Structures are given as structure tokens and as C-alpha cells.
Amino acid sequence: MSEADERARLVQAALESISAGSKSFRFASQLFDQQTRERSWLLYSWCRACDDVTDGQTLGHDAERVDDPAARLAFLKAKTAEAFAGQPTGLVPFDALRVVAAECAIPQAVAGDHLAGFERDAGGWRPTTTDDLLSYCYQVAGAVGVMMAHVMGVPPEDEDTLNRAADLGIAFQLANIARDIVDDAKVGRVYLPAEWLAAEGLAGADLADPAHRPALARLAHRLADMADAYRRSARVGAARLPFRSRWAVLAASGIYGEIATRAAALGPRAWDERITTSKAEKAALVMEAFWEALWRVRPAPRDGLWTRPAHA
């Protein structure tokens, strides 16, 4: 099989993965030009596989406790290292990473940051402070934002734009945490900082108890407010991208931002059923992002925001 045929096979497999695993990302990715779109799918394939292997789930669903977290993490690290070394692995997600990392000069250190988030999960880690929470959000989502920035052509020396790409991923993860507080607690995972819980008189074991929903609503509102601050920073970085990439990033920001907004607005009812957006709602948010992509964005500092590690 030629390199072109192999790449086409990997792109098709990655598309199937994203179509099943993240309808929101799939929807927004259609706005990219073809080359960027395919590269985003290749990167997603690896990210999705890392998440699934770590959580014992399938395409982002039905997470369950795993008996061998250390072995799973060692497998991910080994195969990822092979991909960055340019070695075929025979596994679609890692061969997809090999291709996109070579095409876009994605730093291996950033992929390592992403895996560090899964290592925390494998060790049963829980955040104590707000900084702990934000560093975790960077690892599991902000690092993906940085890798996506490389996919979209942001040069490695443009630290501010890369930081703002990380900010968007952090905002996404804060929204996910708000939406999934109860579901995460049911499988023994707590991503709310211990100091936040203590202020509400809660412990991790309380989060799945419906009696504590008013307190959870206050915490979800706090997460949503934080997510908004990071999304605002990300818009400044998005304004520096080519139009189609800018439109796609703003569309994804709007779709994920809607999750945090609804979690805050629903209050104690936010966990009665999983928060989703319909195709019609996604389409409306995409059109809103189109007009937003045309607006001039005023430069703004990132004062007060958590910043990713310098090596990344």
C-alpha cells in the first residue's frame, strides 16, 4: 500500500471514530479546509483512543473501573513514543498520530502532557486546589488545544496564541466537568477541588447524592464562570487564525460553551439527564460563530489565567 493510500485509510478510520465518539467535534470540524479537517481527525483518533483505553470505555461511553490502569498507561506511552519515532504500530490511532505529528511538527512534550492527565486518573488523583484543577484541565484538554493549534499552522514561537489555544481546551474541560459531576462520582472520580467541596460542607462521596444538588448547582455555576473567562481569552487567539479555522474554533467554543451555560442555568436539575445540543441548535451556534468570525477582536491580556508549562 502506498503512503497516500495508507494515509487515506487512516483518515477514513479517524472519521468513523469521531463520528461515533464526538458529534460536536465532528460537526465543527466540517468548517476546516480539507487538509486541516483531515489532520484534526487524525489527531482526534489518538486522543479518543487514549481516553477509551484509560477509562475502559468505547468511543467515550460506558466508562467503568479498570483493573490494570498502570499497564494501560504504559501501553499508551510506549505506542505514542513509537508514533513520534516514526515507527508504524499497526494500530490506527497511533499510526494516525504518527502521520499528523510528522506533518505538523507537533511537539512530543505536548502529547506527554496529555498522557500525564490520564496518569493522574489512573492513580486515583483528586485536585486539592483550583490550580490543581486547571493543571488537570490543561493536561486532558488544553494540551489537545495546543496540538490543534499546530495542526492549524500556529508557529511554535507564537507562545501567546498557543497559550490561548490551551485556554480553549481548559474551557471545554471545565464545561465537561460541570456536566458530568454526578456521573463521574458514580465511578469514583472527583474533579472538583477539595477546597471547593470543603467550603460547601461536602466530601467526594456526597456528589452522587441527590440531596446535595443545590450545592452542586453552585459549584457548576462556578465552573461555568471560569470556563467563560478562558473562552474569552481563546477568542483573542482564534482571531489570528485563517478564516475557516477561526470559524471552526469559534463554533466549537460555542457548542461546548452551551454545555457549561446550561449546566449553570438548570441549577439542581442539571444532572437529571445528560446535557446535549441538537443538530438544529448546533447549526444555530455555527451560524453565530460565522458572524463572530467576521468581527474584529480587541487584544486583551491573559491576566489572572493559569498558564501551561513552558516546555509545552
Note the pLDDT tens digit of each residue in 297-309. Answer: 888 899 999 999 8
Closest to 53 in 3D by CA, of 11, 92, 13: 92
Q: For 297, which DSSP code?
A: P
Angle at CA of residue 211, ends 207 and 214, nearest 5°: 80
8-state DSSP, 102: H
SS3 304: coil
Q: pLDDT tens for residues 39-84?
A: 999 999 999 999 888 876 544 444 455 567 888 899 999 999 999 9
Mean pLDDT value across residues 15-39: 83
Give the pLDDT mean for 151-163: 96
Whole-angstrom distance, CA of residue 93 vs CA of residue 167: 25
DSSP per-residue string spanning 127-181:
--SHHHHHHHHIIIIIHHHHHHHHHTT--TT-HHHHHHHHHHHHHHHHHHHHHTH
Give CA separation, 301 vs 30, 125, 164, 272, 279, in Å: 30, 32, 10, 38, 35
**For 295, which DSSP code?**
S
pLDDT(155) > 60: yes
In this prediction, residue 256 carries a pLDDT of 84
Torsion angles phi and psi, residue 61, rounded to 5: -125, 155
Residue ranges per structural domain of the chain: 3-294
- Residue with more model confidence, 256 or 166: 166
All 3 cell numbers of residue 235? 477568542
- What is the rounded average pLDDT of the residues 197-215? 91
Q: What is the mean pLDDT of residues 176-193?
A: 93
Give the closest residue to 162 by CA, choosing from 93, 255, 114, 234.
234
Give the residues across from 217 on adjacent strands. Answer: none
Q: What is the pTM of this model?
A: 0.92
In this prediction, residue 60 carries a pLDDT of 40
* pLDDT of 25 higher than 80: no
> What's the rounded mean pLDDT across residues 211-216?
94
Q: What pLDDT is stored for residue 65 in this prediction?
A: 55
**Is the sign of the CA dihedral 185, 188, 193, 198 positive or negative?**
positive
- Give CA–CA dist 93/169, Å, rounded: 20
- Does domain 3-294 fall under CATH 1.10.3720.10? My reply is no
pLDDT, residue 270, reads 84
3 state SS of 22: coil
Q: Could you give the percent of the chain with pLDDT greater than 90? A: 68
Residue 268, pLDDT above cutoff 50: yes
Read off the pLDDT of each residue in 137-149 and give the average, rounded to a whole number: 97
What is the overall mean pLDDT for the chain?
Answer: 90
pLDDT at 221: 95
- For residue 276, what pLDDT is reported? 86
**Whats the size of the chain, residue-wise?**
312
Distance CA 101, CA 147 (A): 9
pLDDT number for residue 213 = 95
